[in-house]
Structure 1
Amino acid sequence: MYSKEYSHAAIIAQNIKKYLSENKMLQKELAERVGIAPSTMTDYLKLRSRPSHGVIQKMADVFGVAKSDIDTTYKIEETQSLETMIDSASLFEEVKIDEEDRVAIKDLIRVYFLNKHQ
């Protein structure tokens, strides 16, 4: 792996370990719940490979977090797309949406998608 890819894999592994610890869950249990081999989970945590987008989403669902909490590259995309969507809705409806409303809308959307994947 290149340095940037290695660093990205390390961030993902660190976040998986964090959520395993917070949830008092073993790697094997997470692997079973996500539908992958325990050895594959070990490969992720030892930086030998990186999980696919779908596996990251499944892990996020198991932990009850956003996939951007595991793979930080999603934070930028998620924020931009939600902001763009809220701005578009505001223009379409010709209403002003303040920051408190923006937070509420983002939370609603995240909860919707978390529930949709369960």
Structure 2
Amino acid sequence: MYVRFQSPVPNRRGICPGVFGLVNALAKQGRLSDAEEAFRRENNAWYDANFTDPATVDPTVYDRAVNPQAAAWFKASAGHLIRRVPGYLAILAAHGVECVRLESADPGEASVED
């Protein structure tokens, strides 16, 4: 089983951004509080150090021309990776940004496994 946290609404490119993209977008817009930004930076750094970015394995993985529907999923058993997601969800909720949890037995081809 796999888990994904994403916007329930597609963006202008027709893609539903994931939880990290949603929080990073708030940061780029300057909408995060100091505490939220500190959480984002600390936890993004933790993910960078503890999980392989699929784009480093395959630079085309998020290329919309090559893989227009590419999306990152967690294995449901990857508790050590999912454990930090509630903090991101709290930031989104504080800003009125919806984020839903999806589950799938087969979300598609995996380029990196957690």
Considering Cα pairs closer than 8 Å and 6+ residues apart, tell me whether 1 or 2 has the greater RCO: 2
1 or 2, which has the higher strand percentage? 2
Larger gyration radius, structure 1 or structure 2: 1
1 or 2, which has the higher helix percentage? 1
